[in-house]
């Protein structure tokens, strides 16, 4: 039993350390993708939306309408926005890359100013390379 607990603790430590290192590299303009294991908990629709968020390339944006189309339901724009708002793994699941149809920065749980800073970071980073 103690061996199993130690093994689980080691796995958790590795995941936490890897996540910390990848986030640090992201903010230092050294990383554009994440490959940490994710164990997402949500409704079937939320999981679909979050998996589509993972497909938005670094330095790019997608509108809520485009996101709704990507999940297969144009009429689900508000539901997509709600699912984005329920995302608890922002940055790694990049909900900050979804913007209003008019290009405005709308709806970000961390605050619009953070969404703007993340998009600026990604735009600046893509210009460096």
- Choose the catalytic residue: 49, 68, 95, 99: 95
Calculate ∠ Cα 99-105-110, nearest 5°: 100
- Active-site residue flag, 69: no
**DSSP category for residue 32:** S
Q: Are 55 and 69 in contact (CB under 8 A)?
A: no
The residues with which 124 forms a beta bridge, in sequence order, are none
The catalytic residues are 95
């Amino acid at each position: 039993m103690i061996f199993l607990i130690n093994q689980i603790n080691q796995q958790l430590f590795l995941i936490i350390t890897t996540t910390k290192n990848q986030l640090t590299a992201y903010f230092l303009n050294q990383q554009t993708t994440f490959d940490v294991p994710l164990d997402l908990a949500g409704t079937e629709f939320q999981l679909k939306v979050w998996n589509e968020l993972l497909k938005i390339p670094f330095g790019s944006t997608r509108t809520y309408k485009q996101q709704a189309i990507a999940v297969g339901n144009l009429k689900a724009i508000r539901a997509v926005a709600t699912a984005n708002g329920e995302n608890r793994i922002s940055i790694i699941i990049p909900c900050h890359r979804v913007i209003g149809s008019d290009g405005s920065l709308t709806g970000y749980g961390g605050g619009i100013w953070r969404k703007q800073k993340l998009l600026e970071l990604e735009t600046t980073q893509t210009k460096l390379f």
